[in-house]
């Protein structure tokens, strides 16, 4: 399924008054936000579209073809790439997490449905895979990851079950991992593997570290009167966004006292938007 951009109207409203000459989109994905921003801001001279996933670029290239050389495609992590931009940017956007395309590409191991290698790398050139974490990390570290990144209340029994299983043979696939954790993980409305898979994905891609580092780098790179917007999908991410913005309060105006969430209509049309939260600042 093609990725549907979340909080699109709200993102456009945040940048509506800004004269955007240079824009840095740290999570280009399928280019949904990019297309709408380029349409709304004909003054854009340079739109830098960054993504760790080269497959995302292939899709975005089709969508953004009408803007030709205004769009620069950058492969890499936004936390590192934003610091390398020459000059300052008038707008910075990140919409974190995985895209619907990444989730649907079963062979990449993001989904607990089906059976695929335990990979979960957004960047296929990245060093760390989910298999490495699951088969090599000490039990205590596994429990910490599941508790902190997945908010899995049964993190310790899950870590123990994994360590017991891997003594017999390496855990190679998502299906094998699901079978191991299902009897011990938290039971509720969600599939019992949901929180553990979320935690592994965050750890493999250092998503929280990236977010904090990326926002701090964006604060250094955004021109005066430029704006920074970040869309988070769970409380851990939103807390980081809130804290980085709050710690910079001498240098920015906070535009969202409370985070902006999706309308009932958007949730109906795109259930994935349900937990999204947008925060933004203007650099003084
Ligand atoms: C939720 S999607 C973005 C969707 C996009 N805004 C759109 O409208 O199509 C997130 C994308 O960000 C990329 N991504 C996640 N973390 C990243 C990082 N630290 N650096 C660069 N790209 C990242 C993922 O590979 C994925 O393609």
- Kindly state whether residues 186 and 214 are assigned to the same domain: no
- Kindly state whether residues 61 and 198 are assigned to the same domain: no
pLDDT profile of the chain (284 residues), mean per 10 = 91 98 98 98 98 94 97 97 97 94 92 94 96 98 97 97 98 98 92 95 97 98 98 94 97 97 97 95 98
- Kindly state whether residues 231 and 94 are assigned to the same domain: yes
What pLDDT score does 114 carry? 85
Report CA(35)–ligand 1 centroid distance (Å).
15
What pLDDT score does 189 carry? 86
Instruction: Indicate whether residue 50 lines ligand 1 (CB < 6 A).
Output: yes
Structural domain contains residue 151: yes
What CATH number is given to the structural domain containing 215?
3.40.50.150
What does pTM read for this prediction?
A: 0.96
Q: Which residues contact 203 (CB under 8 A, 6 or more apart)?
A: 128, 133, 145, 149
What pLDDT score does 243 carry? 98
Q: Which of 153, 172, 204 is the last residue of a domain?
A: 204
User: Closest ligand 1 atom, CA of 93?
Assistant: 6
Instruction: Indicate whether residue 273 lines ligand 1 (CB < 6 A).
Output: no
Domain of 252, in residue numbers: 8-101+207-283
Cα three-residue angle 103-104-108, rounded to 5 degrees:
65
Residue 17 DSSP label? T
- Kindly state whether residues 199 and 211 are assigned to the same domain: no
Instruction: Indicate whether residue 95 lines ligand 1 (CB < 6 A).
Output: yes
Distance CA 233, CA 277 (A): 6
Distance CA 228, CA 249 (A): 13
Instruction: Indicate whether residue 49 lines ligand 1 (CB < 6 A).
Output: no
Number of folded domains that form the chain: 2
- Mutational pocket test of ligand 1: of 63, 99, 270, the residue with most ligand atoms within 8 Å of the beta carbon: 99
Instruction: Indicate whether residue 56 lines ligand 1 (CB < 6 A).
Output: yes
- Kindly state whether residues 134 and 89 are assigned to the same domain: no
- Kindly state whether residues 216 and 276 are assigned to the same domain: yes
């Amino acid at each position: 399924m093609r990725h549907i951009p979340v909080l699109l109207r709200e993102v456009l409203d945040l940048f509506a008054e800004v004269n955007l000459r240079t824009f840095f989109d740290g999570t280009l994905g399928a280019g949904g936000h990019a297309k709408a921003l380029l349409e709304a801001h004909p003054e854009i001279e340079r739109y830098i579209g960054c993504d760790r996933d080269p497959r995302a670029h292939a899709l975005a290239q089709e969508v953004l073809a009408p803007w030709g050389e205004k769009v620069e495609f950058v492969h890499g992590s936004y936390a590192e790439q934003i610091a390398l931009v020459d000059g300052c940017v008038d707008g910075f956007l990140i919409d974190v997490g995985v895209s619907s395309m990444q989730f649907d590409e079963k062979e990449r191991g993001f989904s607990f449905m089906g059976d695929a290698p335990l990979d979960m790398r957004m960047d296929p050139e990245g060093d760390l895979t989910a298999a490495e974490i699951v088969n090599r990390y000490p039990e205590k570290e596994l429990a910490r990851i599941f508790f902190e990144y997945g908010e899995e209340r049964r993190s310790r029994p899950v870590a123990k079950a994994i360590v017991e299983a891997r003594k017999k043979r390496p855990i190679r696939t998502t299906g094998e991992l699901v079978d191991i954790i299902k009897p011990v993980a938290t039971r509720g409305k969600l599939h019992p593997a949901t929180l553990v898979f979320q935690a592994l994905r965050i750890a493999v891609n250092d998503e929280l570290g990236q977010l904090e580092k990326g926002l701090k780098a964006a604060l250094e790179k955004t021109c005066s009167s430029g704006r920074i917007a970040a869309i988070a999908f769970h409380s851990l991410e939103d807390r980081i966004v809130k804290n980085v913005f709050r710690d910079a309060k001498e240098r920015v105006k906070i535009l969202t006292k409370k985070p902006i969430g999706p309308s009932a209509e958007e949730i109906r049309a795109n259930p994935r938007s349900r937990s999204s939260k947008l925060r933004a600042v203007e650099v003084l």
